[in-house]
C-alpha cells in the first residue's frame, strides 16, 4: 500500500464511520479544522482520561488547571511568541498562493531544510528554479510569517485591546505558577498540567490531522530546583530505566549515522542526556505512547540540533513517529530552564521565585516540559491500528474486512451488543445486557440493523474489541455469544458472567 493510498483510506474511513471529518464540510470544508463525530469524541475522551490517569492522578505532585484561551498582547511579548513564533513562507507573484518554504522544498527536492536561514532557503528555491505548484509562477524571497491568531477584546479595536488566541497551553501555567504553588502548598519538584485547545495560523495545513490550525494540547510544566536537575526519585526512575528506545542524538545526526538503541539508564550514564529529569519525562512519555497502542517499531527519540532548538531551551528531544509520510514530531520534551518565569516576572513586575525552606534561599525553578498534540497521537494511533485482512471461508469464498486493532482500554466502544433479529423478545434481552454493561461502566454500542456479518464488519471498522450477540438460545439458557474482534473467535457465556469477563479483559495496563 502506498503512502497516498494509506492516507486516502484513513480519511475516507474516518469520515464514513463518524470518527473525524472536515469542519464546515457542506461548504467545502475549512483547511486545518476538523470536527469529531460520536466515535472520534469517545476515542479522544479515552486518550484524555488515560493521559490524566498516568500523569496527574498517579502523581501526587502534578496539578491540573484549565485556563483562558485568549490572553492579552503583553503575555505573548513576554513569552517571545510575537517576535519568534514564525514559519517561513514564499508567495507566488502571479496567483498569490502562499506556501511554507521548507515544505515546498521538501516536496520538490525531497530534502530536509531544518535550521536553514531565510537567505539559504531562498537560494535553494532560486538555484533549483522551484516554481508555484499551482500556476508555475515565480516565487518571492522567503520571509517570516507569525502564526498567532490576533483578535481584540471589547468593543473597540486599539493596541490596548489587542489579544491573541493561545498557540500553546504552556504560558498560563507559568502565569499561574505562584497561585498554584500557594493554593496547593506545592513543594519542588511539582508540575502543572493542562489539556486544552490551541490555535496556530498554519501557512499550509496538511497530512490530515498532523498539521492543523486548531488542535488540542496535552502539556505539563514540571518545576524543579535548578541545582537538582538529576535528582529523580528511585520509585519514578525504576519505572523507566530499563526501557529500550531508539535514539538519534546530535552526534549521530552530525555523523549521518543511524540512530542507536539504548536502555533508558544508558542514555544518562553515557551522557546522551545530561539532565535526568528531562530523560525521565522523555522515557515516561514514550512508555505511555507505547501503552496507548502505537507501533514501537515506528517510534524513536531525536535530539534537536543547536540551530533548530527553541530560544528558551537548553536541550530538547522529540519523540518521533514514522507516519506514512515520514518521520515526524509526535511529542516534544524540552528543558526550558528558568526562561519563562524570569520573563514573566520581568514584564509583570511580580515575584515568581520559590523559597526553599530547607536551604533558606530563593530560587527561580527550571522547567521540564513534555508537550504533545492530541491529534498527532490520534493520527499515529490510527496508522498503527489500521489493518486490512482477507481469508477464505469454509465455502472457499474470499472474505475481507478493514479493522482498527485498538487496545481494549483505548477503543472508543468496548463492546457491541447485537440482537440477532431486531424484534422482541430478543431486543428486550439485548437491552437488558446494555443496562448491565452501562451500570458497570463498560462502554457499548448497540446495533440491530442488517445481517450479523455486516454488523461485525461495521464495529470492526471502529475498533470495538468485543461483540455480544443475543439469539434464540439466549431465551432458553440465558447465554450469549461473545465474539473477539482480532481472532474472530466466538464463545458462549452466561449473561451473569459478562461483567466479570469484560472486567478481566478491559483495563488500563
Q: Is residue 497 part of a domain?
A: yes
Q: Is residue 499 part of a domain?
A: yes
Q: Is residue 312 part of a domain?
A: no
Domain closes at, from 104, 128, 146: 146
pLDDT per residue as tens digits for the range 379-424: 999 999 999 999 998 888 899 999 999 999 999 999 999 999 988 8
CATH number for the domain spanning 100: value is 3.30.40.230
Q: At what angle do helices 101-109 and 118-127 cross, to 10 degrees?
A: 40
Q: Which residue has the higher pLDDT, 506 or 14?
A: 14
- Domain tally, the chain: 2
Q: Is this prediction's pTM over 0.75?
A: yes
Provide the β-strand partners of residue 149.
165
Domain closes at, from 146, 176, 194: 146
Measuring CA to CA, how many Å separate 136 from each of 96, 99, 125, 232, 304?
11, 13, 13, 56, 34
Grid cell locating 244:
529500550
pLDDT per residue as tens digits for the range 239-252: 999 999 999 999 99
Q: Is residue 419 part of a domain?
A: yes
pLDDT band (50, 70, 90) for residue 1: low
Q: Is residue 450 part of a domain?
A: yes
DSSP assignment letter at 495: G
pLDDT per residue as tens digits for the range 221-235: 999 999 999 999 999
Q: Is residue 427 part of a domain?
A: yes
d(C-alpha 44, C-alpha 374), whole Å: 8
Neighbours of 134 (CB within 10 A): 12
Domain that holds residue 132: 86-146
CATH number for the domain spanning 461: value is 3.40.50.800
Domain closes at, from 146, 166, 182: 146
> Which of 153-157, 166-170, 297-301, 492-496 has the least mean pLDDT?
153-157
Residue partners of 439: CB distance under 8 A and separation at least 6: none
Residue 509 clears pLDDT 60, i.e. is over it: no
Which ranges of 255-389 does DSSP label H, i.e. alpha helix? 264-269, 276-292, 339-348, 374-385
pLDDT band (50, 70, 90) for residue 6: confident
What spatial distance separates the first Cα and last Cα of the chain, rounded to whole Å? 32
**119, 101 Cβ separation under 8 angstroms:** no
Grid cell locating 307:
540551530
d(C-alpha 470, C-alpha 417), whole Å: 8
Q: Is residue 439 part of a domain?
A: yes
How does the average pLDDT of the chain come out, rounded?
A: 95
Q: Is residue 437 part of a domain?
A: yes
Measuring CA to CA, how many Å separate 274 from each of 57, 203, 455?
28, 36, 54
Residue 132 clears pLDDT 70, i.e. is over it: yes
Grid cell locating 411:
477503543
Report the candidate in 425, 401, 423, 422 with the shortest Cα–Cα distance to residue 483.
Answer: 401
pLDDT for the residue 394? 85
Amino acid at each position: 500500500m502506498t503512502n497516498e493510498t494509506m492516507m486516502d483510506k484513513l480519511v475516507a474511513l474516518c469520515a464514513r464511520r463518524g470518527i473525524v471529518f472536515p469542519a464546515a464540510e457542506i461548504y467545502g470544508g475549512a483547511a486545518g479544522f476538523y470536527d469529531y463525530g460520536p466515535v472520534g469524541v469517545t476515542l479522544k475522551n479515552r486518550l484524555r482520561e488515560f493521559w490524566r490517569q498516568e500523569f496527574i492522578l498517579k502523581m501526587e505532585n502534578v496539578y491540573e488547571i484549565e485556563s483562558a484561551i485568549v490572553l492579552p498582547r503583553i503575555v505573548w511579548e513576554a513569552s517571545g511568541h510575537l517576535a519568534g513564533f514564525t514559519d517561513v513562507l514564499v508567495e507566488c507573484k502571479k496567483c498569490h498562493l502562499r506556501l511554507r518554504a521548507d515544505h515546498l522544498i521538501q516536496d520538490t527536492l525531497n530534502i530536509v531544510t531544518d535550521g536553514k536561514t531565510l537567505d539559504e532557503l531562498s537560494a535553494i528555491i532560486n538555484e533549483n528554479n522551484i516554481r508555484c505548484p499551482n500556476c508555475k509562477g515565480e516565487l518571492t524571497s522567503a520571509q517570516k510569517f507569525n502564526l498567532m491568531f490576533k483578535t481584540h477584546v471589547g468593543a473597540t479595536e486599539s493596541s490596548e485591546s489587542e489579544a491573541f488566541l493561545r498557540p500553546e497551553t504552556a504560558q498560563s501555567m507559568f502565569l499561574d505558577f505562584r497561585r498554584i504553588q500557594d493554593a496547593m502548598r506545592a513543594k519542588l519538584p511539582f508540575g502543572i498540567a493542562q489539556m486544552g485547545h490551541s490555535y496556530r495560523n498554519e501557512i499550509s495545513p496538511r497530512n490530515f490531522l498532523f498539521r492543523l490550525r486548531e488542535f488540542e494540547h496535552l502539556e505539563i510544566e514540571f518545576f524543579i530546583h535548578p541545582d537538582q536537575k538529576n535528582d529523580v526519585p528511585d520509585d519514578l526512575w525504576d519505572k523507566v530505566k530499563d526501557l529500550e528506545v531508539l535514539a538519534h542524538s546530535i552526534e549521530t545526526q552530525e555523523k549521518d549515522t543511524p540512530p542507536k538503541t539504548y536502555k533508558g539508564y544508558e542514555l544518562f550514564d553515557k551522557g546522551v542526556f545530561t539532565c535526568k529529569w528531562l530523560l525521565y519525562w522523555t522515557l515516561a512519555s514514550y512508555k505511555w505512547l507505547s501503552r496507548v497502542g502505537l507501533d514501537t517499531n515506528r517510534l524513536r527519540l531525536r535530539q534537536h540540533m543547536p540551530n533548530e532548538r527553541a530560544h528558551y531551551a537548553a536541550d530538547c528531544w522529540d519523540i518521533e513517529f514514522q507516519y506514512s509520510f515520514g518521520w515526524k514530531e509526535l511529542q516534544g520534551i524540552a528543558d526550558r530552564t528558568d526562561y519563562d518565569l524570569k520573563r514573566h516576572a520581568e514584564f509583570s513586575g511580580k515575584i515568581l521565585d520559590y523559597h526553599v525552606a530547607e536551604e533558606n534561599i530563593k530560587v527561580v525553578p527550571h522547567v521540564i516540559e513534555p508537550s504533545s498534540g492530541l491529534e498527532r497521537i490520534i493520527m499515529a494511533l490510527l496508522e498503527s491500528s489500521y489493518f486490512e485482512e482477507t481469508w477464505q471461508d469454509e465455502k472457499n469464498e474470499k472474505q475481507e474486512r478493514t479493522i482498527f486493532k485498538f487496545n481494549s482500554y483505548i477503543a472508543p466502544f468496548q463492546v457491541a451488543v447485537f440482537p440477532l433479529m431486531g424484534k422482541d423478545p430478543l431486543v428486550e434481552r439485548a437491552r437488558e445486557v446494555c443496562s448491565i454493561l452501562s451500570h458497570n461502566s463498560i462502554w457499548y454500542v448497540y446495533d440491530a440493523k442488517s445481517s450479523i456479518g455486516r454488523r461485525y464488519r461495521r464495529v470492526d471498522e471502529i475498533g470495538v474489541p468485543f461483540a455480544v450477540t443475543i439469539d434464540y438460545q439466549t431465551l432458553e439458557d440465558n447465554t450469549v455469544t461473545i465474539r473477539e474482534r482480532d481472532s474472530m473467535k466466538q464463545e458462549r457465556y452466561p449473561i451473569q458472567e459478562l461483567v466479570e469477563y469484560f472486567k478481566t479483559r478491559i483495563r488500563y495496563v
